[in-house]
Amino acid sequence: MRLPIFCLALLVIGCSAEPERNVASNDIAPVESGGPAATANVATPLPPDSEAEAEVAKSPQAAAAVLRRYFALIAAGSDAEAARLWGDSDRAATFAADLRKLGDFRPSIAAPGRVEGAAGSLYVDIAFQLLRGGRSLADGTAVLRRVNDVPGSTAEQRRWHIERMTLQPSPQPIAYRFVGRWASNERNCADRAWRFTAHRLTTPAGAVCDFRSVRTVPGGFDIAARCTAEGPPADDTLQLRFAESARALLFESNVVADAGLVRCR
């Protein structure tokens, strides 16, 4: 049915007579996700494995960070977590056991070598030393490995892990005369002996001194040490003097009680 012309005119006037209003931003209906308007002004994020991130992950510095974390976990007693940084759990257990035999130590990690590639993997060699009291206990080399970014490799395979480590005792220092067992008298040699090594002194009373340097002086040695006796650790200078006629050793310290000692057989 056709409407009369005046009716159409009324409809047009009615539409245009509606008052104009400002549309607030919260009046805008949400755009369906995935529509063209939804992504027009959104920056495209970088892929999780961007080229820059991949290069950092492959760097020798990233491998060295894994080795530093390994020794930190060992020092904290977290052997199980440290073992997860290895590729072979049996090798990890064997090496951790060898480290425990050394007692306390501080690792000194050298700058990593160049990254080398072979058979779809990357390798880097890192030298290190294990120190105590300023002296080297052992020299070592760690070989770290990761899979190169080959198709199908997993994120776990693309992480640096310890492939193997070798450890050799450092060359021993000169044979100091004081090294060995000493006691206040021969009867105490069985269970009350003082024990001197080239790096440490332990006394039957429980005092421990880690040596930092040993200096030869007339009649004996002066030893810069860090000693723990009844109080907290303290720096000290141990004075060792030999009484040749009595075949005795005179010991003086500010932390450990002074003593006159005879060598135990």
What stretch of H or E contains 216?
strand 208-217
For position 49, what pLDDT does the model report? 53
On the question of pLDDT at 18 being above 80, the answer is no
Report which secondary-structure segment, H or E, holds 127: strand 121-132
DSSP state of 84: T
Closest to 96 in 3D by CA, of 75, 79, 77? 79
pLDDT tens digits, 114-163: 999 888 899 999 999 999 876 788 999 999 999 987 888 888 889 999 99
pTM of the model: 0.49
pLDDT recorded at residue 175: 73
Which is more confidently placed, 11 or 232? 232
Look up residue 138 and give its two tokens: 């052992």
Sequence-separated (6 or more) residues with CB below 8 Å from residue 104: 132
Question: CB neighbours (10 Å) of residue 112?
Answer: 20
Q: What is the mean pLDDT of the chain?
A: 81
User: Which whole-number Å values give the CA distances from 113 to 1, 69, 143, 225, in the listed order?
Assistant: 91, 18, 10, 35
Distance CA 125, CA 111 (A): 9
Q: Is the pLDDT of residue 7 over 70?
A: no
Kindly indicate the confidence band of residue 46, based on its pLDDT and cuts at 50, 70 and 90.
Answer: very low
Reply yes or no on whether the pLDDT at 3 is more than 50.
no
Q: pLDDT for 75-126, tens place per residue?
A: 999 999 999 999 999 999 999 999 998 888 999 999 898 999 888 899 999 9
The Cα 176–Cα 36 span in angstroms is 82
H helix or E strand, kind and range, residue 165: strand 161-169
Instruction: Of 209, 206, 212, 70, give the one whose Cα is nearest residue 142.
Output: 70
Q: pLDDT value at position 55?
A: 81
Look at 129-133, 206-210, 225-229 and tell me which has the smallest mean pLDDT.
Answer: 129-133
What are the residue boundaries of the structural domains of the chain, listed by start?
Answer: 51-169, 180-263
Name the residue with higher pLDDT: 245 or 141: 141
pLDDT grade for 231, boundaries at 50, 70 and 90? confident
- Per-residue pLDDT averaged across 42-48, rounded? 42
For domain 51-169, say whether CATH 3.10.450.50 is its number.
yes
Amino acid at 122: L
